[in-house]
């Protein structure tokens, strides 16, 4: 006989019962309760070492046995056999093998399935939805990263007018109307960001570093045009939308496979896999930017020069990092390493 709690499936209140297992049936006895359940009608929930045993009865009722020794004895008399999956879960070797197989499956799906699926979904998203997405992202960025500028309103207006002229040079015809904003956003560093709705945000840090170069004004304008050409390439190729779709697909698949028990592992896989998508789009954007610069009669070298400036800034920030950390951040960066990009640009000229 085994002490248990009985739930009738209709009320939250539990009733204390005694379970008696016979050759053909399980008897459940309690105050004003006497059930006889055929053994073949019982269903057993997967038992966990430090949990309770749950026996499912007909018509939505169930019993819970909390005493570990008692429920193990009950399982033995019921002839319960753990499944292969349960046996693997109880073995660290089995769990490690399962994790390896799942990661391999995710990577195979990333290589052969997800890019195609993301392409198909991206191609079917209407421009109006893309613009709404960009508008929402812009609002969130404005709230989170844009700070009050030390520049006057006249300075910002003059800078944005100059940047707009550079846009007209490298992108006279685009599928979306383009707009450029100059933001004081220290958290973004020396950077430019393109949004799906055609808005390009350039940070004051990027602007100030270019303006501080000992170069003729036309050379500086060409550097600004090179930055914008790269961001316009992202917009024209719908990279932001594609990355959002592929991130969602990768995340949904990894979370579905790993479940709540391995949230950290699932998140790590998504981060590494998705960083490779972004590396690919950055390389494609560089090549599209080179084409735009050639059409505008701007030396392609200007894009390489911008990347060299970014590389100098990165080195100054990471000079105090341990070597292993610099290597890790290069691998997980959403951009290919600067020397690689600079070499590709100069080889393509």
What was the pLDDT predicted at 85?
61
Q: Is the separation of the CB atoms in 258 and 250 below 8 Å?
A: no
CA distance 18 to 191: 70
Q: At what angle do helices 153-170 and 217-236 cross, to 10 degrees?
A: 70
For residue 322, is pLDDT > 60?
no
Which span out of 67-71, 230-234, 330-334 was modeled with the highest average pLDDT? 230-234
For residue 270, is pLDDT > 80?
no
Tell me which of 3-12, 17-26, 279-288, 315-324 is least confident. 315-324
DSSP-derived secondary structure for 222-256: HHHHHHHHHHHHHHHTTHHHHHHHHHHHHHHHHHH
The count of other CB atoms within 10 Å of the CB of residue 31 is 8
Domain limits of the chain?
A: 2-81, 113-348
pTM higher than 0.75: no
What was the pLDDT predicted at 98?
72
Q: Is the separation of the CB atoms in 345 and 300 below 8 Å?
A: yes
The count of other CB atoms within 10 Å of the CB of residue 340 is 14
What was the pLDDT predicted at 327?
38
Residue 203 or residue 177, greater confidence: 203
Max CA separation in the chain (angstroms)? 96
Class of domain 2-81: mainly beta
- In 3D space, the residue among 70, 68, 40, 69 whose CA is nearest the CA of residue 56 turns out to be 40
What was the pLDDT predicted at 324?
37
Which tokens belong to 196?
């799906």
For residue 267, is pLDDT > 50?
no
Which tokens belong to 171?
């992108």
Q: Is the separation of the CB atoms in 302 and 267 below 8 Å?
A: no
Mean pLDDT across 263-285: 58
């Amino acid at each position: 006989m085994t002490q248990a709690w009985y739930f009738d499936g209709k009320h939250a209140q539990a009733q204390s019962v005694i379970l008696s297992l016979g050759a053909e049936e399980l008897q459940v006895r309690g105050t004003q309760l006497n059930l006889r359940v055929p053994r073949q009608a019982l269903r057993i929930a997967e038992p966990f070492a430090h949990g309770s045993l749950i026996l499912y009865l007909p018509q939505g009722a169930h019993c819970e046995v909390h005493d570990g020794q008692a429920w193990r004895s009950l399982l033995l008399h019921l002839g319960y056999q753990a499944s292969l999956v349960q046996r693997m879960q109880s073995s660290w070797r089995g769990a490690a093998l399962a994790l390896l197989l799942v990661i391999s499956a995710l990577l195979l799906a990333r290589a052969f399935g997800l890019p195609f699926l993301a392409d198909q979904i991206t191609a079917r998203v209407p421009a109006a939805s893309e613009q709404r997405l960009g508008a929402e992202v812009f609002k969130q960025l404005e709230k989170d990263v844009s700070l009050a500028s030390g520049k006057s309103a006249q300075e910002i207006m003059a800078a944005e007018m100059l940047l707009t002229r550079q846009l007209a040079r490298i992108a006279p015809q685009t599928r979306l109307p383009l707009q450029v904003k100059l933001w004081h956003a220290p958290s973004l560093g020396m950077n430019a960001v393109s949004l799906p709705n055609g808005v390009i945000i350039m940070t004051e840090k990027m602007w100030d570093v270019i303006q501080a170069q000992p170069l003729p004004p036309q050379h500086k304008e060409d550097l600004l045009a090179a930055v914008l050409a790269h961001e316009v390439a992202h917009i024209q190729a719908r990279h932001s939308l594609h990355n959002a779709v592929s991130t969602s697909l990768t995340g949904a698949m990894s979370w579905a496979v790993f479940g709540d028990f391995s949230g950290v592992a699932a998140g790590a896989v998504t981060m590494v896999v998705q960083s490779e998508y972004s590396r690919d789009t950055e390389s494609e954007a560089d090549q599209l930017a080179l084409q735009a610069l050639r059409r505008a009669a701007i030396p392609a070298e200007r894009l390489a020069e911008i990347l060299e400036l970014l590389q100098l800034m990165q080195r100054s920030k990471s000079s105090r990092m341990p070597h292993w950390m610099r290597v890790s951040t290069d691998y997980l960066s959403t951009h290919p390493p600067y020397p690689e990009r600079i070499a590709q640009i100069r080889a393509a000229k």
